[in-house]
Amino acid sequence: MLKFGQHVIQQSCVFWESKLSFAFVNIKPVLPGHVLVSPKRIVPSFTNLSPEENVDLFKGAQQLASLLKTHYKTESLTLVVQDGVDAGQSVHHVHIHLMPRQAGDFANNDDIYGEIERVDSTTSEIRSEMEMESEAMIYKELVKEMGITS
Ligand code: AMW
């Protein structure tokens, strides 16, 4: 069990861990494969990451980006870090959004940013724990198969 700001993330929803970081499935994904990578320590802002946390987090995000590109058969991925309330950050614990993209997934490519804001403000699109666990299981297998290191 790991903390994501005020939220508790069940181990079954975590699909990758390193010494300082972890990745987990999203409770309200804006697209299939929308996952989050965070430091294990509750660090509110990107600028508060230690150099070690920064390297560990981005190394993990890069490897998991490859996993998502392979699994979702795409060459395109949107990465987002909302740092601070005025940038749209709602959970005050650094997280990188990884979102695999497909041709035509939004009418305009950049509509994804409006969708992140819209979904963030709803409580109606929360997924079941079972659905999240099933998704995490698929990625856990891929982490092993692709030899993604911690
Ligand atoms: W931010 O607006 O802070 O950049 O994004 C917060 C993200 O965290 C959103 O994508 C939201 O769906 C996700 N989220 C919030 N609570 C949980 C949770 N308990 N488990 C998984 N994802 C969560």
Q: Could you identify the atom of ligand 1 that is nearest to the CA of residue 24?
A: 21
The 10s digit of each residue's pLDDT in 60-112 is 999 999 999 999 999 999 999 999 999 999 999 999 999 999 999 999 999 99
95 is known as an active-site residue: yes
Is any ligand 1 atom within 6 A of the Cβ of residue 18?
no
User: What pLDDT shows up at residue 30?
Assistant: 97
- How much is the average pLDDT of 29-51? 98
The CATH code that applies to domain 2-144 is 3.30.428.10
Residue 1 has a pLDDT of 81
Which of the listed residues 26, 46, 93, 139 should we mutate to test ligand 1's pocket, taking the one with most ligand atoms within 8 A of CB? 26
- The CA–CA distances, whole Å, from 42 to 53, 78, 91, 98 equal 11, 24, 10, 19
pTM as predicted: 0.97
**pLDDT exceeds 90 at position 149:** no
